[in-house]
């Protein structure tokens, strides 16, 4: 009976811990939130009206090729023409800076106890030590250690095919409750809102 109860509590604890860790620490089940970031841009020349554009990633990774499709779709929605041999070229690159956390570790003990046998003479006890570095597994609301989230950046230039630069801009945001590709994709419309403008570290939400 003792072994059966320990096995039962082991299964229960496994499910509980996975739910806590993935649901609270990593935010898998958390609702999406708007990312906060900045946009910077410099306008060098007036963008010629009515001229089509070519979208060109600076590297041909699968992620950037998908972003190029998103880029082209946004431009078309805004009334721009997109073609492979256009006189204007929009080039872009993406990069990320990985975040980290450190210190602030706290120890927690989760204990479940059951009484087995018809007379209650058999006991089963399972103890599990949990360590939280971000105050989110079993000590919600307490101060975490030093946490620096990952940041993602997309850089864009708009040039004439002959080489003259018209505009360039960049958007940066911290990665929270989403994946890197989804964050980069959400940054595109806001960055393109500032095409042709000059702004310096303007706070925005993506």
Beta bridge partner(s), residue 130:
108
Task: Give yes or no for a contact between 90 and 58, defined as CB atoms under 8 angstroms apart.
Answer: no
Q: CA–CA separation, 25 vs 23, rounded Å?
A: 6
Domain 36-99+149-205: assigned CATH number: 3.30.160.670
pLDDT in single tens digits along all 206 residues of the chain: 544 444 544 554 454 444 444 444 444 444 456 678 999 999 999 999 889 999 999 998 999 999 999 999 999 999 999 999 999 999 999 988 765 555 555 544 444 444 444 444 445 444 444 444 444 444 455 455 555 567 899 999 999 998 899 999 999 998 877 788 999 999 999 999 999 999 999 999 88
Rg (CA), the chain: 26
Give the pLDDT score at 194.
96
Give the pLDDT score at 16.
47
The model carries a pTM of: 0.61
Residue the block writes with tokens 């975490």: 144
How does DSSP classify residue 44?
-
Give the pLDDT score at 150.
79
Give the pLDDT score at 39.
97
Cβ-based neighbours of 42, under 8 Å, separated by 6 or more: 167, 168, 169, 198
Give the pLDDT score at 11.
54
Kindly give the pairing relationship between strand 199-205 and strand 165-174.
Answer: unpaired
Structural domain boundaries in the chain: 2-27+105-132, 36-99+149-205
């Amino acid at each position: 009976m003792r072994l059966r109860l320990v096995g039962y509590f082991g299964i229960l604890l496994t499910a509980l811990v996975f739910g806590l860790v993935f649901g609270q620490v990593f935010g898998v089940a958390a609702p999406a939130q708007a990312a906060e970031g900045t946009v910077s841009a410099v306008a060098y020349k007036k963008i010629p009206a009515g001229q089509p554009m070519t979208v060109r990633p600076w590297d041909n990774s699968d992620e950037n090729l998908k972003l190029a499709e998103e880029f082209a779709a946004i431009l078309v929605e805004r009334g721009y023409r997109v073609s492979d041999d256009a006189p204007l070229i929009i080039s872009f690159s993406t990069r990320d800076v990985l975040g980290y956390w450190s210190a602030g570790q706290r120890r927690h003990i989760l204990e479940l106890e059951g009484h087995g046998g018809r007379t209650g003479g058999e006991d089963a006890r399972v103890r599990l030590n949990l360590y939280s570095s971000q105050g989110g597994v079993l000590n919600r609301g307490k101060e975490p250690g030093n946490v620096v989230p990952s940041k993602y950046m997309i850089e864009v230039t708009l040039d004439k095919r002959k080489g003259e630069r018209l505009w360039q801009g960049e958007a940066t945001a911290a990665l929270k409750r989403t994946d890197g590709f989804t964050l980069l994709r959400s940054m595109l419309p806001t960055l393109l809102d500032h095409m042709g403008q000059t702004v310096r570290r303007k706070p925005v939400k993506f």
